[in-house]
Amino acid sequence: MVQTRQSAGPAERDLKYRRFLINEAQGLLTRLTQMQPFEFSMPMVMAAAIPNQAQKNIFELMRAGKDLLATKVRKFIDRMEQPHKMNVEKCQAAYAVLKLQFNALLDQFDIFADVVSQRGENETGIWVAGLDVFAKDALRMNRFLLEAPPMICYLDRGHGAAIRRARTRLPGGDENPVAVIRIPRERMVANGIGSSLVHEVGHQGSALLDLIPSLKPVLDEREKHDQPRSNAWRLLNRWISEILSDFWSVSFLGISATTGLMSVVSLPKYFVFRAVDNDPHPFPWIRVKISLAFGKQVYPEDQWHRLEQLWESMYPKTGLKQEALDMIATLEATLADFAKLVVDHQPRKLKGKRIGDIFPYADRDPGQLRALFRQWKLEQETMKTQRPSLVFAVIGQARADNVITPFTENRVLTNMLRHWALVNS
């Protein structure tokens, strides 16, 4: 006689499913315990280490995230062991939410893991640690204490740099405790690295000073009342976030900020003049012109006009449509007024100071930079006692003046990055 197996009843199926979810939840707990603190796995030498405050902030963030998620998983398991509490559909929905939260925690972990693991690369780790020091210095203002967060850098593939600003939301919803700056590996050369790094620091600085919400109403007024140039003011308003970061770079690095920018945006002509609607970046040709306008405003000297002529000869406006030529002409006619407006602006957080009052313009004057370069050639040890941003500005000015080769520039700055990493370890 053949015996037929009876199908499980609703209660038995419910019990099996709950056991399945309990096993899955216990698996999440097991994987959580495998997420060791970075302090247990950091492979770098001391000079390549992440700054202490950044390490502490990251450790506290990850510890709190792990503890909170572990508590939620244990509560979920307790509820699964009480069949009368939730039906199967609600059990599955609750578990799905736990998985999403777990993956978000892993995403946060991986953001910092990329930074930490790179510090173990031979030479690169120390080099990047020097960039941490440089980035911190690019938030030091004159006669104004900026409450700067810890800043850490790392290298990655790709063309452009980027920053995950401190005090913004991470994938898991937590507030980011450190600023994480990504630098393209192709930028690992002299003025290119300086321009890209300080630009990203400028995003953090602008946010700390609330520059964007402070300037936007002013630009709105200009757009409303300056009818002949209203389109130019509208575009500058749309691009203001990226423009302020380029302004930050020029303010700390002088002409090497603009030459570095030119290197980044030197693309085929079609892309250099291509204006995309709703793009927060100015199209490359006018972006360089805006950087030049800031240079003329804060460091007036003929070198900016010579560099402008070079840029225009590299990318002449010949062949452009009339509509594009009209837009460019209106923007060019507005840039001098716009640069002055930014430098003279008085945001509420500066308590009566102009934006231009907090940047080290006196130390970055081209004549001063040239004098320092001549002095440091004779007293090279003096360079090691100077601010990183000043060193980059001096060497960048020398490179722009063609008094040193790219090889010398790279060698000097690499040595300085190693020095800053060592003395701050």
Tell me: do 159 and 102 sit in the same domain.
no
Same-domain pairing of 383 and 260: no
Residues 192 and 75 in one domain: no
**Do 209 and 202 touch, CB atoms closer than 8 A?**
no
Q: Are 282 and 272 in contact (CB under 8 A)?
A: no
Is 213 part of any domain? yes
- State which residues form the domain around 54: 11-120
Of 120, 135, 155, the residue that ends a domain is 120
CA-closest candidate to residue 331, choices 192, 206, 229, 211 = 229
Task: Give yes or no: residues 204 and 341 share one domain.
Answer: yes
- Determine, yes or no, domain membership for 2: no
Could you say which of 74, 94, 120 is where a domain stops?
Answer: 120
243 shares a domain with 228: yes
Looking at the fold, whether 221 and 260 belong to one and the same domain comes out as yes
pLDDT at 225: 93
Looking at the fold, whether 371 and 359 belong to one and the same domain comes out as no
Boundary residue ending a domain (120, 151, 181):
120
pTM over 0.75: yes
pLDDT of residue 157: 73
Residue 5 domain-assigned (yes or no): no
Closest CA to 393 of 137, 151, 124: 137
Residue 6 domain flag: no
Could you tell me if 375 and 359 lie in one domain?
no
Cβ atoms of residues 180 and 164 within 8 Å: yes
CB distance 38 to 58 below 8 Å: yes
Task: State whether 138 and 269 are in the same domain.
Answer: yes
Q: Using alpha carbons only, what angle is made at residue 26 by residues 22 and 31, rounded to the nearest 5 degrees? A: 150
Supply the pLDDT for residue 193.
85
- Asked, for residue 222, whether it belongs to a domain, the answer is yes
Residue 425 confidence (pLDDT): 66
In this predicted model, what pLDDT tens digit does every residue of 45-68 receive, in sequence order?
Answer: 666 677 778 878 878 777 788 888
- Please tell me whether residues 277 and 323 are part of one structural domain: yes
- Please indicate, yes or no, if residue 303 is contained in any of the structural domains: yes
Distances (CA, A) of 143 to 201, 246, 249, 358, 361: 19, 22, 19, 6, 13
pLDDT tens track, the chain, 425 positions: 445 455 556 667 777 777 888 888 888 788 777 776 665 556 656 666 777 788 788 787 777 888 888 888 888 888 887 766 667 778 788 888 888 888 888 787 777 777 777 777 777 888 888 999 999 999 999 888 888 899 998 888 767 788 999 888 888 788 888 999 988 876 666 667 889 999 999 999 999 999 999 999 999 999 999 999 999 999 999 999 999 999 999 999 999 999 999 988 989 999 999 998 888 999 999 999 999 999 999 999 999 999 999 999 999 999 999 999 999 999 999 999 999 999 999 999 998 899 999 999 999 999 999 999 999 987 878 899 999 999 999 999 999 999 999 888 888 998 999 999 888 86
End-to-end CA separation in angstroms for the chain: 81
48 lies in the same domain as 177: no
Residue 239 belongs to a domain: yes
Please state the domain count of the chain: 3
Q: CA geometry: angle at 131 spanning 361 and 62, to 5°?
A: 120
Same domain, 85 and 146: no
In a domain, 1, yes or no: no
The reported pLDDT for the residue numbered 125 is 84
- The predicted-structure confidence for 337-393, as pLDDT tens digits, reads as follows 999 999 999 999 998 899 999 999 999 999 999 999 999 987 878 899 999 999 999
pLDDT at 407: 87
